[in-house]
Structure 1
């Protein structure tokens, strides 16, 4: 039983660190792009990873500490993390459909920019 507890806690902490790292990667991508649709697409992905981090933190607090306060805090983090994942996954699907349209408009913009210089 002790080994199972250690495996669960270490996997939740690993998931927490991985999701926070992925959140940072997509946040950096969001700030580095100059296209509007890609900006909100990367924001939605980063917020999904933040939701996963919140969810794993809530589960970790419930598993690791057995007090009533940790259960309350864990449930709050699980609810907010789950809602974050659900809401921003909907947004990600919406903006993913607009990426080809933006790519086509961006190519046309670049083509017009090159021809106007001549």
Structure 2
């Protein structure tokens, strides 16, 4: 039983670090993006990773600390994280559909800019 507990806790902590790293990576991609739709798309992906981070943090607090306060705080983190994942996954799908349109418009803009030089 102790081995299972250690495996679960270490997996959750590893997932915490992974989700935080992915959040930072997509936030940097959002900052470095010059296109509007692509920037919002990266924002939605980073918020999904932030939501997964909150879910993992809530699960970790519930598993490691079994007090009633830890369970309530963990449940709030899980609910807020699940809402973030749900809402920003819908936004990601919406903006992913608009990425080809923006790519075409960006190519036309670049072609016009090359002609004017």
TM over 0.5: yes
| Alignment pair present for 1:15 and 2:47 | no
1:116 deviation in Å? 1.0
User: What residue in structure 2 maps to residue 55 of structure 1?
Assistant: 55
User: What residue in structure 2 maps to residue 113 of structure 1?
Assistant: 113
Size of the aligned set, in residue pairs, is: 117
User: What residue in structure 2 maps to residue 78 of structure 1?
Assistant: 78
Deviations 1:10-59 (A, max 9, x none): 00000110000000000000000100000000000000000000000000
Q: Which runs of 5+ in 1 are unaligned?
A: none
TM (normalized to structure 1)?
0.99
* Runs of 4+ displaced beyond 2 Å: none
TM (normalized to structure 2)?
0.99
Q: Which runs of 5+ in 2 are unaligned?
A: none
